[in-house]
Amino acid sequence: MDKNQGYAILKVVMLENGRGFALGECPREPEPFVTWACYDDEHGRRQYEWGHYGMDRDALARDLSERVENYQQQFSVKVAWVEEPGLYKYYSTQRPVDIGTFPKPPHNAPDEIVNYDQRVPVEGGAFLAWGHLTYTRPLSEKDMADYELRPSKDNPAVGKRMERKPSISRQMQEAGRQAPPSHKREAPDRGER
């Protein structure tokens, strides 16, 4: 996770409109806990502002929740994702990890890249992968889709983005049920053309 003014960021709640709030800690400061409003600038760097400082971690954790709730009520936005400390693991399902086969978002380069000797079952045999990467921040849905990466079920919670999607066959069955009935036409006789 990030650091800001010596404070290690413990949690970030990002909202649909690109704004968010963060909780930080710096044990050597007289007020070791802080919540900030935050956003990612045009270069992808997280910017922090409007700090609320204090000595009680629980009180500042409540402050973080209150700031998020108040902002949501005022601007009618939903939580897009939550970042917490930990590593985010993604599996490369279509090819070994190599140059140009994985995302490199600004300020979120992979911490670890591991290629397996062959395509192996992962996540308890749920699917096959050629290798995996770990990041300190979660990847966007677009990055995962563009590079055909699948997140580990053990990743720290990142809100709705980590919900399990139904299998492709289940999605196709559901689409078939929702499709309007097709009207079959008989092919014209060659003589009628």
The answer to whether the predicted template modeling score (pTM) of the entire model surpasses 0.85 is no
- Single-letter amino acid, residue 169: S
Q: 3-class SS at 144?
A: helix
Task: State the average pLDDT over residues 133-149.
Answer: 92
Structure-block tokens of residue 24:
């930080």
pLDDT in tens, 47-92: 999 999 999 999 999 999 999 999 999 999 998 878 877 788 999 9
Cα dihedral 33, 38, 41, 43, rounded to 10, equals 40
CA–CA distance, 106 with 47 (Å, rounded to integer):
14
Of 32, 13, 11, residue with least CA distance to 23: 11
Name the β-bridge partners of 88.
135
Alpha-carbon 179 to chain mean position: 31
Decide: 152 and 142 in contact? Cβ < 8 Å: no
Task: State the average pLDDT over residues 137-153.
Answer: 93
